């Protein structure tokens, strides 16, 4: 895992942001080899949690990357209530925060399908392999189908 992305995840953990690592970096944790340019997390979209997220990355100059003019991240308790996703650029890379995972459900459901791993002394919640396969099947994009093939091959080679 890239040091910059590990630093970004460590910041979220330090600030007690409730999140689960999903997407391609979760695939890498499970032995996959596909690359990605962003870090995907499913997180609790409660105002308290989103404000902790903002605090965790405030000095990384976060901006909304999917909106015109790329405004800086400026969350308040009020505007947090209307959010479902955040697609951010930071000084450490892209961070995609989503409130639910296709094929699995909202953060609480995703959180039930995770496991905790330690990477360089950082405790991370990561979507478990079977749930990751299900989410990739539900997305069904070409790169998701490739990830499913890879994860299912790894699963066959891994003793139960």
Residues 85-120 have pLDDT tens digits of 999 999 999 999 999 999 999 999 999 999 999 988
Selection from 19, 70, 80 nearest residue 50 by Cα: 80
Helix, strand or coil, per DSSP, at residue 42: strand
- pLDDT tens-digit map of 4-39: 889 999 999 999 999 999 999 999 888 888 777 889
Sequence-distant (≥ 6) Cβ neighbours of residue 160 within 8 angstroms: none
Q: Is residue 56 part of a domain?
A: yes
Count of positions (residues) in the chain: 160
CA atoms 135, 56, 54, 112: torsion sign? positive
Q: Is residue 32 part of a domain?
A: yes
pLDDT-above-90 percentage for the chain: 78
Q: Is residue 156 part of a domain?
A: no
Crossing angle of helices 47-57 and 3-14, rounded to 10°: 130
CA-based R_g, the chain, Å: 15
Pick the more confident residue, 134 or 157.
134
2 confidence band (pLDDT: 50, 70, 90):
low
Q: Is residue 85 part of a domain?
A: yes
Q: What is the pLDDT of residue 59?
A: 96
Q: What is the pLDDT of residue 137?
A: 95
- pLDDT tens-digit map of 42-94: 999 999 999 999 999 999 999 999 988 999 999 999 999 899 999 999 999 99
Q: Is residue 123 part of a domain?
A: yes
Query: Taking a C-beta distance cutoff of 8 angstroms, is the pair 154, 129 a contact?
Result: yes
CATH code where residue 47 lies? 3.30.460.40
Q: Is residue 158 part of a domain?
A: no
Q: Is residue 71 part of a domain?
A: yes
Q: Which domain holds residue 91?
A: 3-150
Domain count, the chain: 1
160 confidence band (pLDDT: 50, 70, 90):
low
Q: Is residue 65 part of a domain?
A: yes
Q: Which residues pair with 22 in a beta bridge?
A: 40
pLDDT at 1 over 60: no
Q: What is the pLDDT of residue 100?
A: 97
């Amino acid at each position: 895992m890239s040091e910059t992305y590990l630093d970004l995840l460590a910041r979220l953990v330090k600030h007690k942001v409730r999140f689960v690592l999903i997407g391609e970096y979760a695939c890498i944790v499970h032995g996959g080899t596909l690359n990605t340019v962003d870090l995907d997390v499913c997180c609790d979209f409660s105002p308290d949690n989103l404000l902790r997220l903002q605090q965790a990355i405030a000095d990384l100059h976060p901006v909304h990357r999917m909106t015109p003019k790329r405004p800086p991240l400026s969350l308040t308790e009020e505007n947090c209530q209307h959010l479902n996703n955040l697609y951010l650029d930071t000084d450490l890379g892209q961070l995609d925060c989503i409130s639910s995972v296709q094929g699995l459900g909202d953060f609480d459901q995703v959180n039930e399908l995770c496991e905790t791993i330690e990477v360089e002394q950082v405790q991370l919640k990561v979507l478990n392999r079977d749930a990751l396969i299900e989410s990739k099947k539900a997305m069904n994009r070409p790169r998701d189908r490739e990830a499913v093939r890879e994860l299912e091959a790894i699963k066959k080679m891994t003793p139960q």
